[in-house]
Every structure is written in structure tokens, then in C-alpha cells.
Amino acid sequence: MTDAKVIAPIVLGVLMLALWEGVVRAAAIPSYILPGPILVAKTLVADWGTLEPSLLVTVRITLEALAAAVVIGGLLAILFSLSRWVEQSLFPYAIILQVTPIVAIAPLIIVWANNVELSLLICAWLVAFFPILSNTILGLRSVDPNLLDLFHLYGAGRWRTLVDLRLPAALPYFLGGLRISGGLALIGAVVAEFVAGTGGNASGLAWRILESGYQLKIPRMFAALVLISAIGIVIYLVLSWLSHLLLRRWHESALDGEN
């Protein structure tokens, strides 16, 4: 089963790439309209000196935003679970931040922050933190009432109940939110850079896409898109592996995956 889960998407991907290359060659589509995958791969190798620094910038902003989302979202979730009054006061504003399109407020953040990299980090964090917050709150509240009664019976205080019961119960929910936020942090970083339109040596992959479009270097644009997709895939796989590692011995979701 595991081999099939790996081989099947690889085979399908190879077939789709072959079809793409065949259509481009058969229809003689110019490279400035649609380059074939072979040309994109060659461009990725030839322009690696230009793309690699931008790749590192995008990865750094994404990981920093994800780390900030984990810390702030996790701490707020714990705070909300301990105080219903605090949750009712602050959670509506978290929802407002989540539903406000990042492209609408990114220009304001760029002006207020007065630092391009900091503004990109804030934009990516705004997109990424809500799934962690909402999922962790759900996990902290999804504790077996019988276990809560047992803890109360033995005189466990609020903090002991939080550490020994609520946090372990919330771990699967937190990890599910983390997998979602990993992709959203990347999306937030890329969208924010599109809005900022930053250039130079400190620019990320989004700027390379814009730059390639201005210069009609479409193969380089596709190469940058491939790198963005690769970042997203790697983040998802790493976070899925982390989730499996932490849950495989006791949670049903990981146990079922091994059958």
C-alpha cells in the first residue's frame, strides 16, 4: 500500500509532464507563451545563481512566519481556554484579521512597518496564525468529560489539568492546524511580496516571477513557480512526518494510517 501511494502520483506526474511537453512541441507553442517542462528544467539549472538567493529569502520568511504563528497562536489558544472572558473579548478580532484580504491591508502594513522584510513577515503571519489558533482551541475544548471529572475528583488544579490532560488532547488538532498553516505561510509570503513589489538581492521568488514577466522570460517564471511549489510540498511532507512521529503510538489517525 505504501509503495502504491508513492508510485501512483509519481507515474501520473511523469505522464502529465510528458503530455505537456508533447502538446508544446506538436503545436509549436512559443516559449514566451508556454515553455515545455524540459526548457523549464534547463532554465532552472541555468538561472540557479539568480533563483537560489530568492529561494532562500522566501523560505526564511515562510519559516519565520510559521514559527511566529505557532508561538502566538498556541499561546493565545491556551489563554482563551483558561479564560472565557478573554476569548470573547479577543477572538472576534482574530476572525476579522483572518477574513480581511491580505492584499487589501498589505500596503498599509508595508507603510507602517517601514521595513520591507518585517512587513512581509507580518503579512505571512496574519495568514498563517488563525488555523493554529482555532484548531488548538478546539482541541483544548475536546477533552473527554469523564477524564475531566476524574482530574477534578483527584483535586488537580487548572494548570495541572491543562498540562496533563488538555494539551495532550489538543496535540492532534494543533498538528492539523500546523499542516494548514505551513502552506498558508508560504502563500502569505508570496502574496505580500507581489504587493510590495520588492526587488534587488533581498527579493524572494515572487519578485523573480514579476521580473520575468516584465522581461518576457517566461521559462524563468515557470522555474520560480516550480520552486514555490517545491517549498510547499516539502513543508507539507515535513509537517506530516512530524505529526505521524508524535501521534503514531497512541492516536487513532496515525494508527489507522499504518494499517
Tell me how far apart the alpha carbons of residues 190 and 123 are, in angstroms, rounded to a whole number. 10
**Mean pLDDT to the nearest integer, 152-164:** 79
Domains of the chain: 44-257 (1.10.3720.10)
Q: Which residues contact 47 (CB under 8 A, 6 or more apart)?
A: 220, 223
User: How many residues are given for the chain?
Assistant: 259
Mean pLDDT, the chain, integer: 85
Helix/strand/coil for 143: coil
- At residue 259 the predicted structure's pLDDT band, cuts being 50, 70 and 90, is very low
Task: Return the pLDDT at 46.
Answer: 92
Q: Are 117 and 147 in contact (CB under 8 A)?
A: no
Tell me how far apart the alpha carbons of residues 47 and 209 are, in angstroms, rounded to a whole number. 13
Q: Are 62 and 185 in contact (CB under 8 A)?
A: yes
Tell me how far apart the alpha carbons of residues 33 and 11 are, in angstroms, rounded to a whole number. 27
Q: Which residues contact 189 (CB under 8 A, 6 or more apart)?
A: 58, 61, 62, 65, 120, 123, 124, 204, 206
Which pLDDT tens digit goes with each residue over 9-53?
Answer: 888 888 998 999 999 989 888 888 889 999 999 999 999 998 999
**Mean pLDDT to the nearest integer, 112-125:** 86
- % the chain with pLDDT above 90: 36
Tell me how far apart the alpha carbons of residues 46 and 220 are, in angstroms, rounded to a whole number. 9
Which pLDDT tens digit goes with each residue over 59-75?
Answer: 999 999 999 999 999 99
133 pLDDT more than 70:
yes
pTM (two decimals): 0.85
Task: Return the pLDDT at 251.
Answer: 64
Chain centre distance of CA 217: 28
- Burial pattern 194-209, b for ≥16 Cβ within 10 A else e, equals bbbebeeeebbbbbbb
CA dihedral 248, 252, 256, 258 (to 10 degrees): 10
* DSSP 8-state class, residue 100: S
Task: Return the pLDDT at 168.
Answer: 87
246 pLDDT more than 80:
yes
Tell me how far apart the alpha carbons of residues 136 and 206 are, in angstroms, rounded to a whole number. 31
Tell me how far apart the alpha carbons of residues 152 and 158 are, in angstroms, rounded to a whole number. 9
**Mean pLDDT to the nearest integer, 175-203:** 82
In this structure, the number of other CB atoms found within 10 A of the CB of residue 96 comes to 9
